[in-house]
């Protein structure tokens, strides 16, 4: 059974409600490290809602075969709609995680982190009946061009990406601003002690103490890496098309 909805009362400013058939999968990685610590200190809150609790069927059925034929099963719209409607929205965007959604970007993550939180619907089987996606105006988001067994891992990816940007979560204010995507380029290579590791030395410039030269070297490396690994991103950067591919 899912916990009782907790978001009808005042609480942390940023809230994530996750609708899932596998409430046991949460908090998962969201309970660990800085993200879990931020939840404990009240910066954000997590609510899970068991979709199966909204089946009126004696067998607690949530799925049925695709109309028109084809493999697998489809999540029923009536059950999904009841689960969605049980959540207190507080103007939070309702997101359906699906491989056919718009690819998730750091720009969208930043926007979501600045809002009141998220309501995330985790699909299973072949996915969710189209009518509930339309009637509840769900925003369809993909976390990448591959297919997972369900939306739970994707929900944790999305929530973690947002929570780490909430004020007070990252210790060093610098660490988010210098990362990959923040200026439209991938991050430069990182080094730390010892000076020599398995016959590999730290590049001299990083030991020079010359901050201008270090910044120039890092920028050059960011450009090389972005050109080699993400020609799409490099193109967008050169065209001045904002911070990243959207």
- Which residues of this protein are in contact with ligand SAM, per CB under 6 A? 97-100, 122-124, 126-127, 142-144, 146-151, 154
Q: Half-sphere exposure of 94 toward its Cβ, with a 13 Å CA cutoff?
A: 20
Buried-exposed string 116-142: b where 16+ CB fall within 10 A, e elsewhere: ebbbbbbbbbebbbeebbeebebbebb
Query: In the complex with ligand SAM, which residue's Cβ is closer, 27 or 99?
Result: 99
By C-beta, is 13 or 148 nearer to ligand SAM? 148
Instruction: CB nearer to ligand SAM: give 113 or 143.
Output: 143
Report, in Å, the least distance between residue 62 CB and ligand SAM.
13
CB of 233 to ligand SAM, least distance (A): 19
Angstrom distances, CA of residue 206 to CA of 79, 174, 188, 209, 223: 58, 18, 12, 7, 17
**Distance separating alpha carbons of residues 132 and 130, to the nearest angstrom:** 6
Helices and strands (DSSP H and E) totals, the chain: 9, 9
Closest CB to ligand SAM among residues 78, 126: 126
Q: Say whether 76 sits in a helix, a strand or coil.
A: coil
Which residue's Cβ lies closest to ligand SAM? 123
In angstroms, give the least distance from the CB of 205 to ligand SAM.
39
Q: Is there a contact between 54 and 82 (Cβ–Cβ < 8 Å)?
A: yes
Q: Least separation, in Å, of the C-beta of 67 and ligand SAM? A: 15
Nearer to ligand SAM, 4 or 100 (CB): 100
Nearest approach, Cβ of residue 142 and ligand SAM (Å):
4
Per the CB < 8 A criterion, the answer to whether 87 and 119 are in contact is yes
Q: How far is the CB of 113 from ligand SAM (least distance, A)?
A: 19
Closest approach, Cβ 144 to ligand SAM, in A, equals 5
Tell me how far apart the alpha carbons of residues 62 and 52 are, in angstroms, rounded to a whole number: 6
Which CB sits closer to ligand SAM, 51 or 113? Answer: 51
CA-CA-CA-CA torsion sign (68, 152, 51, 119): negative
Tokens 């020609």 belong to which residue? Answer: 231
Q: Which is nearer to ligand SAM, 93 or 123 (CB)?
A: 123
What is the CB neighbour count within 10 angstroms for residue 88?
14
């Amino acid at each position: 059974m899912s916990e009782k909805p907790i978001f009808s009362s005042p609480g942390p400013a940023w809230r994530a409600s996750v609708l899932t058939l596998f409430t046991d999968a949460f908090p998962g990685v969201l309970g660990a490290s800085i993200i879990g610590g931020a939840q404990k200190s009240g910066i954000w809150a997590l609510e899970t809602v068991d979709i199966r609790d909204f089946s009126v069927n004696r067998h607690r059925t949530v799925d049925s075969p695709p109309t028109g034929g084809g493999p697998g099963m489809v999540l029923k719209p009536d059950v999904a709609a009841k689960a969605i409607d049980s959540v207190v929205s507080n103007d939070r965007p309702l997101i359906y995680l699906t491989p056919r959604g718009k690819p998730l970007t750091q720009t969208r993550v930043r926007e979501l982190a600045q809002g009141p939180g998220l309501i995330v619907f985790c699909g299973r089987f072949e996915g969710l009946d189209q009518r509930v996606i339309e009637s509840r105006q769900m925003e369809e988001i993909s976390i990448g061009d591959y297919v997972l067994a369900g939306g739970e891992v994707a929900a944790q990816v999305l929530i973690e990406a947002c929570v780490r940007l909430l004020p007070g979560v990252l210790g060093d204010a610098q660490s988010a601003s210098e990362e990959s995507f923040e200026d439209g380029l991938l991050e430069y290579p990182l080094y730390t002690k010892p000076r020599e590791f398995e016959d590999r030395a730290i590049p001299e410039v990083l030991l020079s103490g010359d901050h201008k030269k270090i910044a120039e070297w890092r920028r050059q490396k960011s450009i090389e890496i972005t050109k080699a690994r993400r020609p799409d991103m490099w193109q967008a950067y050169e065209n001045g098309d904002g911070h990243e591919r959207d």
